[in-house]
A and B are shown apart, each in its own frame.
Chain A
Amino acid sequence: MSRRMVLGLLFLSFIIPFGVLIYLSVSTQWYYPALVSHPFTFSNWLSFFDGRSGLLKSTGLSIFISLMVSMIATSCGFFISRGIVYYTSSRWWLVSAYFPYVIAPVVLAVMLNYYFLQIGLSGTVFGVMSAQILITLPYAVILFYGFWNRNIRNFENLVATLGGSFFDKVMHAFLPSAKGLLVVCFFQCFLISWFEYGLTQFIGIGKVETLTIMVYRFVAESNPYLAALAGTVLIIPPIILLFVNRKFMFRKGLGI
C-alpha cells in the first residue's frame, strides 16, 4: 500500500466521524430499514439560531466562561510562575501545581464542593469559573515555569537600569519573548475549560448549562440529532482557535 493511500485512509478515518456528526445534525428521524436518516432538514440548526433548543445561550455562556478562565489563568499563571522562580527556593510550589492533575479535576470538585456550598458559589457561573481556574491556573504555572531563565532576568534588569518601570519590563522584556508561549497557554486553557464536564457539572449542579453539559444532556435524553448539533457547535471554536494559532502551536523553540 502506497504512502499516499495510507495517508488518505488515515485522513478519511479522521474526517468520517465529523461527517457523521454534521450529517446527524441535519437529520430529525430514522426509520428501519433505511440506511440513512430522512428527510434532510435544517430544522435543528434553525432551533439553534432561534434559541428554542437553548444551545445558543449555552454556546454564549461557554464562550464567556472559557475566555474568562483562559485569560485569568494565562495572565495570573504567568506572573505567579515568575514569583515562584524568583522569590522561592523550594520546588514544592511547582510540585503542588500538579496536584489537580494527580487527583483528577472531578475529584478536586468533590473535595472543594463543601467550600463552594458554604460561600454560595455552587450553581453559579462565577463558581464554575472559579473551579475551572483552579485547574487551569496550575497548568499555566507549570507551562511558564521554564520561561523565567537567566536571559529574561537580564532583560528585566537591563530595562530597570535604563530607567524603565515594571510596565516597561512587561512590554519590552516579557511580552516579546513570551508571546508564543502566552498564545499556546491561552489556547490550552481555553480547551481545558471548553471541554470540562465533570467539574462543571458538579460545581454548576446542573444550573450552569455550558455547551459540553448540553451535549451530555442530549445524549442522556437519547436525542442523537440535537446531541450531534451540540457536538458540531462544540468543535467549531477550538477549530477556529487552532487555525488562528497554528503558527504558534506548531512552532519549535517556545522556551518551554
Chain B
Amino acid sequence: MIEISGLNKSYKQEPVLKNLGFSHPGQKTLSILGESGSGKSTLLKIIAGLEEADGGDVRIDGRSIMQMKPKDRGTVYLYQEPLLFPHLTVAENISFGLKFKGSDSKTVEKDTLRMIGQLKLTGQEAKYPHQLSGGQKQRVAFGRAVIIHPKILLLDEPFASLDPATRQEMQVLFKEIADKENITSLFVTHDLKEALMTGDRFGIMVNGRLTLHENREAFIEDSDTGVKKEIEFWKNLS
C-alpha cells in the first residue's frame, strides 16, 4: 500500500504538485490520466526518489520512504524509452535487478526463464537489444522491472513510443502479468484508452491536483477525463 500526504513540488516557483494526497492499496493498478506538464511524471519521480519534494510524505506499507535512497525504496521506474543495456543479452537484461537481491544463480535462471515465457520472448533470450523490435524491447524492460517484485511499479507512459497495434498488445500483456504477479503499480499516461485499459482504479491530474475514482464508471462520469466528449464525438461522426 502506498500513502501520499501533503506533497508539494515547485520548479522555479512554479507549483507542479499542490498539496497532493491519496492512498492506493496493494496489488492494484492506479491509472493516472493527465496532460503534459500536469505533474504526473514529477509525482512518480518523487516516489522513486529521483526528485526531491518540497514538502509532504510518501509511505509504502506504513513506512516513510522520503529519506531513503532510490535503491532502498522498493520502487522501479519504467521509462517511455526501454533503456536496455546494450552490452547485455535479453536474458541478462531481464535478470539484471535480481543479482542485487542476493538471489542464487539457479533461482535467477529459473525466474528469468519463467519471465521470458510470460513475456512471450522464448527463443530471443540470447539476442542483444539492437536485434529486437520496439515492442520486444519494451517487453524486456517491463520484465526486468517486474521480475524483482517491486513494492510499487511506476510506469511513466511506457508504451507511448510504440505503434498503435504494438501498444495495445503491450497494454494487454501488462494487465495479464500485473494480475498474475500481484503487482502494485501507478501507471501515468495522457492516453485515455490506455488509462481505461490498464487501471483498476483511476485518477485524473490537472494542474498538480489529483482526483481519484474507485472504478471505471465513476471515471467515465468525470467530465475532466473527456470520455463523454469522446463518445459524443464518435456518435456525431456516425
Interface string of A161-201 (1 = CB under 8 A from B): 11111001000100011000000000000000000000000
Cβ of B32 < 8 Å from any Cβ of A? no
User: Is the CB–CB distance between A163 and B85 below 8 Å?
Assistant: no
Cβ of A160 < 8 Å from any Cβ of B? yes
Given contact pairs A157-B48, A157-B77, A163 touches B86 in the complex (Cβ within 8 A): no
Residues on A with C-beta less than 8 A from B233 are: none
User: Is the CB–CB distance between B87 and A161 below 8 Å?
Assistant: no
Minimal beta-carbon separation of B57 from chain A (angstroms): 19
From B77, B83, B97, A163 is in contact (CB under 8 Å) with B97
Residues on B with C-beta less than 8 A from A155 are: 83
User: Is the CB–CB distance between A164 and B100 below 8 Å?
Assistant: yes
Cβ of B70 < 8 Å from any Cβ of A? yes
In the complex the two chains form, what is the Cα distance from A176 to B36 in whole Å?
A: 32
Task: Tell me the residues in window 119-173 of chain A with beta carbons closer than 8 Å to chain B beta carbons.
Answer: 151, 154-155, 157-158, 160-165, 168, 172
User: Is the CB–CB distance between A158 and B79 below 8 Å?
Assistant: yes
How many residue pairs at the A-B interface have CB separations less than 8 Å? 53
In the complex the two chains form, what is the Cα distance from A45 to B43 in whole Å?
A: 70
In the complex the two chains form, what is the Cα distance from A118 to B15 in whole Å?
A: 53
Apart from A151-B83, A160-B49, A172-B96, 18 more pairs, CB < 8 Å: A151-B81, A157-B70, A157-B77, A158-B79, A160-B50, A160-B69, A160-B70, A161-B49, A161-B50, A161-B75, A161-B77, A162-B145, A163-B101, A164-B71, A164-B97, A165-B71, A172-B85, A176-B86
Residue ranges of B at the interface with A (Cβ–Cβ < 8 Å): 48-50, 69-71, 73, 75-77, 79, 81, 83, 85-88, 96-97, 100-101, 144-145, 148
Q: Which 5 residue pairs are nearest across A and B when measured between Cβ atoms?
A: A163-B100, A162-B97, A160-B70, A176-B87, A163-B71
